[in-house]
Amino acid sequence: MKLSYTAAWQETLALVRAHGSTIAAVTGVFLFLPALLTGYLLPRPEAQDWDGLVRALRDYAAASWPWLLLEGLFNMVGVIAILRLVFPRGASTVGGVIASAFLLVPTYFVANFLTSVMFVVGLLLLIVPAIYLIGRIAILAPVIVAENRTNPIAAIGRSFELTRGNGWAVAGLVILVAIAAAIVAGVANAILGILFLLVAGEDLGRFLVLIVSSATGAAFAALMTLLYAGIYRRLSAGSSDAAAVFADD
């Protein structure tokens, strides 16, 4: 099946309308709060030049990696929980959805690690293979959750299977939505940041800016997760592995 941008985006909007309030609650707990706490307790370094920034980020990662890893794990639970709301399998309450999400974190973690290695190799070769790889692995998380796949290798293979012939199309849609969302978030952060600094002063203003940037970052992650789910729904329509999932909708 060839991917239709219009159909995939309509699927995404339908998921937002159907599950928006619950997804917002999950996003707040597992994406917004960890980002806010990490940003407040472990502020990112700043530097005047590129070399200084690289050194500062390297030192920051070396000193803070356990907390950054913990934040990443919370984010993974949030992403899986959002997808479990979209693709329910048994759990009917928010608590049940979150509990079931924890069970899939190891699979998602390993699959993410493996695809990250693939992505880095693609970047080292040329940027073009890395962009193409985005299109082949974008639906990895929906595959794991919707089809309840606990083998990370099999999940990656399934993602490649569903995106066969659509790699560039998926990558194009993901990049377009990501750029548009990043521009909107960047403008909102800049305008509100200037306003908060002028009205609230340096200390409180910076904290308010951190709240806004954490909120827009969490909203961005939730939107991209739902976009991947929408793309998955379009590409897997008619698939026997996804039939039971769609039957529950």
Tens digit of each residue's pLDDT (9 = 90 or more) over 62-110: 888 899 999 999 999 999 999 999 998 766 678 888 888 999 999 999 9
Which pLDDT band holds residue 244 (cuts at 50, 70, 90)? very low
Q: How far apart are CA 187 and CA 10, in angstroms?
A: 25
**Nearest residue to 78 via CA among 242, 225, 238, 232:** 225
Look at residue 178 and tell me whether its pLDDT is greater than 90.
Answer: yes
pLDDT the model gives residue 179: 96
Q: How far apart are CA 248 and CA 242, in angstroms?
A: 10
Q: What is the pTM of this model?
A: 0.89
Q: How far apart are CA 179 and CA 223, in angstroms?
A: 12
Q: How far apart are CA 23 and CA 218, in angstroms?
A: 11
pLDDT the model gives residue 249: 47
Mean predicted lDDT score pLDDT of the chain: 89
**Nearest residue to 197 via CA among 180, 210, 186:** 210
Q: Buried (b) or exposed (e) across 129-152, using 16+ Cβ within 10 A?
A: ebbebbbbbbbbbbbbbbbbbeeb
Look at residue 36 and tell me whether its pLDDT is greater than 50.
Answer: yes
Q: How far apart are CA 142 and CA 138, in angstroms?
A: 9
